[in-house]
Each structure stands twice: as structure tokens, then as C-alpha cells.
């Protein structure tokens, strides 16, 4: 009897993804969490700088938020592979909502101080250390088969919408009343938690039995044995560690561009505008060839856009360069995420994702600390210029160190 030909499902379009119930709930929940996080970044950054006027303290916000990730990375990854992922996400959103409520209350009562903000930031970092790798590991169980790259692009685009509106609305709310910004965060995290409960993912592969040490560190061993994954996540670590300018935005907004909290919100939102435009392109036209080379090219553009922003004293040029920076970063993010997820067995995605999240947080939040220290020593503009130059240098060096990553042709 002749064999039946294999059934090949046609690619799922971006529009069809939005009719997929589980993916839609995931999309809304993740966007609300991102919305709250972006409001928090504006409110906490401005409040700290308003209280202390210190670039070093702005950098400390990033360090305090990064520490829980560094301390809990392996435990968080193990939890994502061991327990029901959507329940882990819900618990994290509940903790985040409670922390935002605490900030709203003490700000309203006029009892807020530097120490309280750092404590709340640390708690938010703990919740984020568990939520982010778990959310990343949940997406492959929700996206229709064969559509992970497009689902990643659509999910990233929705998150960027939140990243655009979150800082702008957060800056406006903070200008009206600081506690109002924190109250909005409470509502969004609570609604996100409710929506997460409606997600119905495919069955989750459970981590294999073994000693706690074997299970917890399995993700590290897997990454070390896979040069493409190691090169991918380490590229993000070092490129964005040096090239990130997020921590310097309050300084640019108040001292260089001479705008207020609303202007800071616009600057925070600008990278997301570029990212959203790029995700709209990627959702319709997935990168199908030379994906490794395209990732490196995107990181180089990111570095040059950082240099332009650093040297700009005009608001329009600053916003434009940040938008280009965001568009370039999105190309890199979509390729990196898809490459890591497709190269990792489901029963290890939480642990590998946790290590990946550690690298991402090190680049973003530890990068904020690095930027704050560099700005305190050199000034904001020289620190940002050097960061952009370092990003370009890292991308060129990684192309030499990881030739197999540069030669990756497709994500199929």
C-alpha cells in the first residue's frame, strides 16, 4: 500500500493568529504586563531623579532590578519547566500588582523615599525573574504549529504598542499626580492576571526526573553545548549592555533636551514606535534567508543609532534615532527568540529561557547601572557615544567568534 503524503499545513497569517483564542488571551495579558512595566520605568526613573538628582541612583535602579534575576535565574527556569506555566505567570502578576499598590499608597501619603522605591523595585525584579522566562516558554505551546516566528513578531508588535502608549500615558499621569501612574499599573496587572487564566495551552512537557542540581543547571549545559544559542544570547548581553541609553533618558529629557515628564514619556516610547513599524513588516514578511547575517546587521544599526542619539540636542532627531534603534532591535529580538525556542526541547525551554532572560536583564538593567556610572564619571553624552561605539565593535567581533551563527540561513 503506497505511503500517504505528509500533510503540510499552510503558513498561518498574522490575521489568523488573532482569531486563535489562546494566542489572543496571551497577547492581551502580555501587553498589559508590558504596559505596567513601562509605566513603572517612567514613574520610578523620574521619581528617583526628582528625589536625588543623581545619575548614579538612576543606574542603581537597573542594578536593583537585575539582582533578583541573577540570584533566581536557575530556580525560575526550573519552576517554568516543573509547574503549570500560566499559573506561575498569574502569581507573578499578582505580586506585581500588590507592589504597585504599595507604591501608589506611599506616594499618595507623601511617605515615599529612595529606600522604599528601591525595595519595591527589587520585589518587581523578583516577580519579573519568574514571569519573563515562563511567558517565553508558554508561547510555543500556544502558537499554531509552524507559526512561531510570525507569532513572535505579532506578540512583539503588541508589546511595542504597550511600550509606546505606556511611557506616554505614564508620563502624563505622573505629571498630573504621581500616585495615579502607580494606580494604573495595579489595574493593568490585575486585568492581565485574569486574562492569563483563560489561556488554554497545549500539554506541557515536564522536566525529566533527576537531582535538583541536575535539573536546575541543565539549561546552562545545553547552552554551552550549542554555539549558535550561546552566540545569540551573549551578543545581546554585550551589545545592549554597552549600547543601552534607557537609564540616561531622564538626564536627556531634563538637562539636555529640556523637556519634562511628558517629554520623557515620548523618549521612552520612541524606540517602541520604530519597533512596532518593524514588527508590522515582519508579521507580513518573515525573514526567510540569511537570518544570522541580518541579526548582526541589525545590531550594528542599533549601535550607530545610539551614537546619533547621544550627539543630538534636538528633540526631533533624538526621537527619530531612538525609533531607528527600536526597529533594529526588533529584528534582532525576533531572530534571537525564534532561534533559541526552535533549538530547545520543550521540557527545557523554561531553564534555557531563564538563562536567556538573565542575559537580557544583564544587558538592559545592568546596562542601566553601567550607563549611570559612566554618566556620573564622564557625563551623559560621552557615556552614550562610547556605548554606541562599543555595540558596533561587539557585533563585528561576534561575527568572527561565532561564524556558524553568522551563516545561519533560515529558522525552518
- In a domain, residue 2? The reply is no
The pLDDT value recorded for residue 188 is 95
On average, the pLDDT of the chain sits at 82
Average pLDDT, stretch 133-142? 84
When pLDDT is averaged across residues 129-145 and rounded to a whole number, the result is: 83
Question: Distances in Å between the alpha carbon of 262 and those of 70, 191, 259, 281, 376?
Answer: 33, 25, 8, 29, 24
Distance CA 137, CA 236 (A): 19
Report yes or no on 256 lying in a domain. Answer: yes
Nearest to residue 130, comparing CAs of 345, 344, 354? 354
In a domain, 374, yes or no: yes
Greater confidence (163 vs 56) lies with 56
What separation, in Å, do the N-terminal and C-terminal C-alpha atoms of the chain show? 31
281 part of a folded domain: yes
**How many structural domains comprise the chain?**
1
327 pLDDT above the threshold of 50: yes
Q: By C-alpha distance, which of 363, 365, 370 is closest to 44?
A: 365
pLDDT by residue (tens digit) across 202-214?
776 555 554 455 5
pLDDT category at 344 given cuts 50, 70, 90 is confident
Q: Do 249 and 38 form a contact (C-beta atoms < 8 A)?
A: no
Higher-confidence position of 96 and 411? 96
The predicted structure's pLDDT at residue 211: 42
Q: Given CA atoms 382, 248, 279, 323 in this order, what sign does their dihedral have?
A: negative
CA dist 206 → 85, 194, 214 (Å) = 11, 25, 14
Task: Kindly report the three-state secondary structure assignment for every residue of the chain.
Answer: CCCCCCCCCCCCCHHHHCCCHHHHHHHHHHHHHHHHHHHHHHHHHHHHHHHHCCHHHHHHHHHHHHHHHHHHHHHHHHHHHHCCHHHHHHHHHHHHHHHHHHHHHHHHCCCCCHHHHHHHHHHHHHHHHHHHHHHHHHHHHCCCCCCHHHHHHHHHHHHHHHHHHHHHHHHHHHHHCHHHHHHHHHHHHHHHHHHHCCCCCCCCCCCCCCCHHHHHCHHHHHHHCCHHHHHHHHHHHHHHHHHCCHHHHHHHHHHHCCCCHHHHHHHHHHHHHHHHHHHHHHHHCCCCCCHHHHHHHHHHHHHHHHHHHHHCCCHHHHHHHHHHHHHHHHHHHHHHHHHHHHCCCHHHHHHHHHHHHHHHHHHHHHHHHHHHHHHHHHCHHHHHHHHHHHHHHHHHHHHHHCHHHHCCCCCC
Tell me what percent of the residues of the chain surpass a pLDDT of 90: 22
Place of cell 511611557: 167
CA-to-CA distance for 149 and 278, rounded, in angstroms? 14
Rounded-to-integer distance, Cα 260 and Cα 282, Å: 34
Is residue 95 very low, low, confident or very high in pLDDT (cuts 50, 70, 90)? very high
Write out the three cell numbers for 35.
504596559
**Domain span at residue 190?**
16-199+211-406
For residue 264, is it within any domain? yes
CATH number at residue 136: 1.20.1250.20
Which of 360, 353, 358 is closest to 80 using CA atoms?
Answer: 353
Residue at 6 is within a domain: no
412 within domain boundaries: no
**Predicted pLDDT at 412:** 58
- Answer yes or no: is 205 within a domain: no
Amino acid at each position: 500500500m503506497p505511503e500517504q503524503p505528509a500533510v503540510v499545513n499552510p503558513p498561518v497569517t498574522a490575521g489568523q493568529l488573532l482569531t486563535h483564542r489562546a494566542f489572543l488571551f496571551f497577547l492581551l495579558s502580555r501587553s498589559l504586563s508590558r504596559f505596567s512595566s513601562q509605566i513603572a520605568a517612567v514613574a520610578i526613573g523620574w521619581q528617583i531623579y526628582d528625589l536625588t538628582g543623581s545619575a548614579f541612583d538612576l543606574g542603581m535602579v537597573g542594578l536593583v532590578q537585575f539582582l533578583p534575576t541573577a540570584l533566581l535565574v536557575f530556580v525560575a527556569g526550573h519552576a517554568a519547566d516543573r509547574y503549570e506555566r500560566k499559573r506561575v505567570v498569574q502569581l507573578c502578576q499578582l505580586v506585581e500588582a500588590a507592589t504597585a499598590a504599595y507604591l501608589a499608597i506611599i506616594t499618595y501619603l507623601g511617605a515615599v523615599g529612595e529606600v522604599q522605591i528601591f525595595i519595591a523595585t527589587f520585589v518587581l525584579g523578583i516577580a519579573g525573574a519568574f514571569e519573563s522566562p515562563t511567558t517565553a516558554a508558554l508561547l510555543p505551546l500556544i502558537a499554531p504549529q509552524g507559526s512561531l516566528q510570525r507569532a513572535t513578531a505579532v506578540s512583539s508588535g503588541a508589546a511595542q504598542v504597550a511600550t509606546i502608549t505606556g511611557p506616554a500615558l505614564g508620563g502624563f499621569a505622573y505629571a498630573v499626580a504621581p500616585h495615579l501612574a502607580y494606580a494604573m499599573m495595579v489595574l493593568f496587572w490585575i486585568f492581565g492576571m485574569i486574562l492569563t487564566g483563560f489561556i488554554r495551552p497545549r500539554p506541557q512537557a515536564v522536566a525529566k526526573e533527576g537531582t535538583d542540581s541536575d535539573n536546575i543547571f541543565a539549561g546552562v549545559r545545553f547552552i554551552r553545548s550549542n554555539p549558535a544559542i550561546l552566540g545569540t544570547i551573549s551578543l545581546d548581553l554585550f551589545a545592549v549592555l554597552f549600547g543601552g541609553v534607557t537609564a540616561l533618558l531622564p538626564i536627556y529629557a531634563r538637562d539636555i533636551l529640556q523637556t519634562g515628564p511628558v517629554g520623557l514619556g515620548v523618549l521612552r516610547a520612541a524606540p517602541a514606535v520604530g519597533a512596532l513599524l518593524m514588527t508590522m513588516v515582519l508579521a507580513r514578511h518573515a525573514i526567510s534567508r540569511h537570518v544570522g547575517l541580518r541579526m548582526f546587521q541589525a545590531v550594528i544599526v542599533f549601535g550607530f543609532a545610539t551614537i546619533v542619539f547621544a550627539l543630538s540636542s534636538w528633540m526631533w532627531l533624538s526621537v527619530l534615532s531612538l525609533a531607528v534603534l527600536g526597529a533594529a532591535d526588533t529584528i534582532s529580538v525576533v531572530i534571537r527568540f525564534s532561534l533559541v525556542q526552535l533549538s530547545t526541547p520543550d521540557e527545557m525551554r523554561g531553564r534555557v529561557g531563564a538563562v536567556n532572560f538573565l542575559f537580557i536583564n544583564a544587558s538592559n538593567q545592568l546596562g542601566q547601572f553601567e550607563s549611570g556610572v559612566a554618566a556620573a564619571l564622564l557625563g551623559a553624552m560621552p557615556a552614550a557615544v562610547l556605548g554606541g561605539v562599543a555595540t558596533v565593535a561587539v557585533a563585528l567581533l561576534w561575527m568572527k567568534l561565532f561564524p556558524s551563527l553568522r551563516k545561519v540561513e533560515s529558522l525552518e
